A and B are shown apart, each in its own frame.
Chain A
Amino acid sequence: MKLEPLAVWFQPAAGALLPQLRPFLLAAGQAQAGASARLLRWAITAAEPARGLRIEAVLVVGELEGD
């Protein structure tokens, strides 16, 4: 088990943000760190018209040994 940072940009569609962000972040985290990656902490930390929303997150990667 280890912790890993994630910083990504996301261009949202119209409508509520959370239903778009959660699957996007999980997919981005797993693309970066593998299928065992899951989100521990995240927040939108910038918003720019051209690039969209920047999200900074912390991932937990791997499982506890013995579980």
Chain B
Amino acid sequence: MLLGLFVWLGFGLWLGGLPGLSQDGRPKLCFGSHAPNLLAMLTPPLPTLLVIPTGVGCAVGGYAGDGLPAARLLAAASGCLVTHPNVLNGAALYWSDRRIHYVEGWALDRFACGELALAPVAGRRVGLLLDGGIEPELRARQLQAAEACRATLGLAIGPVLVTDVPLGVGLSLGPSGSSWGTLERPDVLLRAGEKLVAAGVTAIAVVARFPDDAGSDALAAYRHGAGVDALAGAEAVISHLLVQHLGIPCAHAPALAPLPFDPLLDPRAAAEELGHTFLPCVLVGLSRAPDLVDPQDRRAALGAEDLGAVVAPAGALGGEAVLASVERGVPLIAVSGNPCVLKVDGAALGLPVLPASTYGEAAGLVLALREGLDPGAIVRPLGMLGAESSGLPSPDPRK
């Protein structure tokens, strides 16, 4: 679909092309507001996929948007990062970066499998879908958060639709200890989404009333930085349902009653206790989330074949996006410094990995791939050609 030139950050301008268009007139997704800096002018981006699975207790990214610093670093190293809301959503906190593409998890899997491509948008109208099970005052808080994003950030938001009946969110844990959830009324969710699309929205932020469990041990562990996010699995189910059904960007924020003050709150969970809602980050993320298009669509600007690296926690490599990328030959950087409740690593699955102990090291590996360096050349001992294999993937990052 697209190779090299029209995913190059800033290169279109450098070569005299139209802003936002490649030389053949097709849009470039990896065209950022940070161009033109010298590095961008000299080195094409290496589109990179960052996956931090939801609801499996990742030490980095398993809390309240605490994967965001790693995402920002990888975006700087790669010049083009595709990742999902769980990584980027910090309730009232967010970071907007043109190099980072906000792609909901179901769509991210389809993208990695080559079934969807991404197309840039200048902005979009985000419809707000509120669960009819949210109490009036808590609902008003959600609306005020949306109003704040309109007034303070200039986002295009609305209309707002409240479901006729509660969605009925339920939470549970799977055999692995990962969180998942269900809805009593998925039909109500999907019909409401259809109405918003008919009203002209191009993305949907959904807020569902989640069960309060203020006194539970699981919540206490999460707030103290030692547990699984019990809400995350159900959140993923909600957004997956909508995106699968409607084909537009959607993301979820839970509605919850305020929690009592906890002086021992872990820094990674703190972003969720700054305000009354978790909605602002979702509205910001969706406001420039790329369109999800058929890979053959002429607007398609970034496809799975453009990926140059995938980064994931070393013990959580069993998701569809990671497997699909590896099976396409994309180098997999496995971060051992991000443990979680799963132990599904490269050895268990027979996958070749580039090991990284931290996201800082992963960013170095991405930069090496972007520069065309063999990552094996910068570690010691350096084996002789024809000697025992390092186990590293091909030194050609572009395949």
Q: Which residue, of B174, B244, B343, has the highest number of chain A Cβ atoms within 10 A?
A: B174
**A residues less than 8 Å from B183 (CB atoms):** 3
At the interface, yes or no: B319 with Cβ under 8 Å from chain A?
A: yes
At the interface, yes or no: B212 with Cβ under 8 Å from chain A?
A: no
Given known pairs A1-B187, A18-B327, A58-B180, the reply for A43 and B318 (CB within 8 Å) is yes
Please tell me if the beta carbons of A46 and B106 are within 8 angstroms of each other in the complex: no
Given known pairs A7-B174, A56-B174, the reply for A45 and B342 (CB within 8 Å) is yes
Please tell me if the beta carbons of B180 and A5 are within 8 angstroms of each other in the complex: yes
Contact among B182, B187, B349 for A64, CB-based, below 8 A: B187
Q: How far is the CB of B191 from chain A (nearest CB, A)?
A: 7
Interface window among B120-128, B154-162, B234-242, B382-390: B234-242
At the interface, yes or no: B33 with Cβ under 8 Å from chain A?
A: no
**A residues less than 8 Å from B53 (CB atoms):** 43
Task: Kindly state the separation between the CA atoms of A34 and B318 in the bound complex, as whole angstroms.
Answer: 26
Among residues of A, the one whose C-beta sits closest to the C-beta of B172 is A5
Among residues of A, the one whose C-beta sits closest to the C-beta of B174 is A56
Q: Which of A17-58 contact B (CB under 8 A)?
A: 17-18, 21, 40-47, 53-56, 58
Please tell me if the beta carbons of B349 and A47 are within 8 angstroms of each other in the complex: yes
Contact among B237, B318, B324, B343 for A40, CB-based, below 8 A: B237
Chain A facing B: main interface SS: strand
At the interface, yes or no: B176 with Cβ under 8 Å from chain A?
A: yes
Please tell me if the beta carbons of A45 and B175 are within 8 angstroms of each other in the complex: yes
Q: Which of B89-145 contact A (CB under 8 A)?
A: 105-106, 113
Contact among A5, A21, A41, A55 for B240, CB-based, below 8 A: A41
Q: Which residue, of A4, A45, A53, A55, has the highest number of chain B Cβ atoms within 10 A?
A: A45
Q: How far is the CB of B90 from chain A (nearest CB, A)?
A: 23
Please tell me if the beta carbons of B176 and A60 are within 8 angstroms of each other in the complex: no
Given known pairs A3-B237, A41-B237, A46-B342, the reply for A56 and B175 (CB within 8 Å) is yes
Please tell me if the beta carbons of A60 and B186 are within 8 angstroms of each other in the complex: yes
Please tell me if the beta carbons of B175 and A54 are within 8 angstroms of each other in the complex: yes
**B residues less than 8 Å from A47 (CB atoms):** 318, 343-344, 348-349
